Every structure is written in structure tokens, then in C-alpha cells.
């Protein structure tokens, strides 16, 4: 598959996922799903060992260890394939994901499910589309910051895709599986609606797909650059 084909496919996937996300929000499925796990007494899995210690706190530690391993490989070049400059580029993209989504979360006034009055809190449900509309709770819950601990590493798929496509696909599946586990844990705990995790995943994918397209465009520009002086000289000779 050519780089141009990959870029076009990435764009269609990005738009398709966005359409599914918008449809999810339009149908109002968040509250319907969360109600299956929460009661007036709260969420039974909120402080469970599996969801809190293993998948939440352990997941955060796993993300930092993974990032450290990626940075170490960038400098020590243990894995053959991409050159150092390319690896540094994608480390930067992954850091953008890790920083941007939590920053958006800090700006959001959307509260977590466990803050809703019907689950023992004080807030009322307000769609995350209604920016600037308070819901009576603490806010700062959209999108999912924990989901980014997995989905930021979608950048590894884009990094390795041109060099080891089969390994890149395994990375892609692994990231989606781990991210889904993190999202499910936060749903069971009442920490996030499903869409919070979906939007984190989409944002990370969109950032990586855009970075891949940008890199492809710059590569094409560099290949064409040496021809420019020759074309200019030909124009002068004809004049």
C-alpha cells in the first residue's frame, strides 16, 4: 500500500469514526449505558481492586513504562527500522496526545457519572456538547484522560506501519484492546461515560492520522525541491 493510499484510508477512517461518535451522542446512549452499572448508592466497582488498582493505577504506570521504553529505543536504537529522526517525530506526536486530551479535560465543565444526583452525587446530566453550561458538579471529566494512557500509543502503529506492517497491526490491535479495557474499567467505576473514552480514542487517532499526512506531504515536498533550481534555470535560458 502506497503512502498516499494510507493517508486517504486514514482520512476516511477518521471521518467514519467521527460519524459514529456523533450518532452515539445524538441517540443519547451515554446515560442509558451508565444506568446499567450505577444505582442510587453509587457504583459497586468504583473502588474494586481490579478496576481501581489494576486497570486504573496499574494502567497509568504501564503507560509511563511504555513511554520510557519508546524513548529509550529512540536513543539507543535497539529496534531496526525507522531512523532516529522519525522515531523522535512520533514520540513528539504521542506526547501531544498525552498532553492535549487532559488539557481539554481541565477546560470541560462536564462532570463524571458518579457526580450525578441519581448515583448519589449532586450534579444533573448535561451533554458535553453544551460547552460552558455547568451541571452543578465539579466538572473536568470530558474527555477521558485515562483512555489516553493507551490510545496515545496509536502513534506506534503509524511509526512502524511503513517498515513492519504486520508488527504495526499487532500494535494497533493491542492499543485498542488495552484502551477498551481502561475505558470499561472507568465505566464500571462511574468515572466516565462511554463517549468520554470514545472521544479520547478518536482525538488520538485524528492527531496521529494528521501527523502522518503532514509527514507524507513534507516528504513529497523534499523530493521535489531539488528539481526547482533546474526548472528556474531553464526558464531563464528561454528568456
Map the chain to HEC letters: CCHHHHHHHHHHHHHHHHHHHHHHHHCCHHHHHHCCCEECCEECCCCCHHHHHHHHHHHHHHHHHHHHHHHHHHHHCCCCCCCHHHHHHHHHHHHHHHHHHHHHHHHCCCCCHHHEHHHCCCECCCCCCCCCCCCCCCCCCCCCCCCHHHHCCHHHHHHHCCCCHHHHHHHHHHHHHHHHHHHHHHHHHCCCCHHHHHHHHHHHHHHHHHHHHHHHHHHHHHHHCCHHHHHHHHHHHHC
Q: Is pLDDT of 47 > 50?
A: yes
* Domain locations along the chain: 57-108+143-217
> Average pLDDT, stretch 214-223?
79
152 has pLDDT over 50: yes
pLDDT of residue 55: 96
pLDDT at 225: 61
pLDDT category of residue 230 using cuts at 50, 70 and 90: very low
> Residue 226: is its pLDDT beyond 70?
no
Q: What is the pLDDT of residue 238?
A: 46
Cis peptide bond prior to 143, omega within 30° of 0: yes
**What is the pTM (predicted TM-score) of this model?**
0.89
Query: Which cell numbers in the block locate residue 11?
Result: 482520512
Predicted pLDDT at 197: 97
Residue 237, pLDDT above cutoff 90? no
pLDDT class of 131 with cuts at 50, 70, 90: confident
Average pLDDT, the chain: 90
pLDDT level of residue 81 (50, 70, 90 thresholds): confident
Is residue 159 very low, low, confident or very high in pLDDT (cuts 50, 70, 90)? very high
Tell me: pLDDT of 228 over 60: no
Residue 37: which residues within 8 A CB-CB, separation 6 or more? 43, 44, 45, 187, 188, 190
Amino acid at each position: 500500500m502506497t503512502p498516499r493510499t494510507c493517508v486517504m484510508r486514514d482520512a476516511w477512517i477518521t471521518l467514519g469514526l467521527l460519524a459514529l461518535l456523533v450518532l452515539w451522542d445524538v441517540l443519547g446512549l451515554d446515560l442509558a449505558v451508565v444506568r446499567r452499572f450505577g444505582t442510587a448508592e453509587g457504583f459497586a466497582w468504583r473502588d474494586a481492586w481490579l478496576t481501581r488498582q489494576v486497570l486504573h493505577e496499574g494502567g497509568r504506570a504501564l503507560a509511563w513504562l511504555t513511554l520510557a521504553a519508546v524513548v529509550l529505543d529512540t536513543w539507543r536504537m535497539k529496534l531496526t527500522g525507522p531512523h532516529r529522526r522519525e522515531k523522535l517525530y512520533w514520540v513528539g506526536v504521542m506526547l501531544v496526545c498525552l498532553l492535549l486530551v487532559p488539557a481539554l479535560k481541565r477546560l470541560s465543565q462536564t462532570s463524571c457519572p458518579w457526580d450525578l444526583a441519581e448515583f448519589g452525587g449532586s450534579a444533573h446530566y448535561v451533554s458535553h456538547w453544551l460547552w460552558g453550561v455547568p451541571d452543578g458538579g465539579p466538572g473536568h471529566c470530558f474527555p477521558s484522560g485515562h483512555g489516553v494512557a493507551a490510545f496515545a500509543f496509536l502513534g506506534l502503529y503509524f511509526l512502524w506501519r511503513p517498515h513492519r506492517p504486520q508488527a504495526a497491526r499487532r500494535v494497533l490491535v493491542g492499543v485498542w484492546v488495552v484502551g477498551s479495557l481502561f475505558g470499561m474499567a472507568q465505566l464500571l467505576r462511574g468515572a466516565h461515560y462511554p463517549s468520554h473514552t470514545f472521544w479520547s480514542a478518536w482525538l488520538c487517532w485524528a492527531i496521529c492520522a494528521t501527523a502522518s499526512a503532514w509527514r507524507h506531504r513534507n516528504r513529497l515536498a523534499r523530493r521535489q525541491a531539488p528539481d526547482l533550481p533546474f526548472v528556474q534555470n531553464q526558464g531563464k535560458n528561454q528568456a
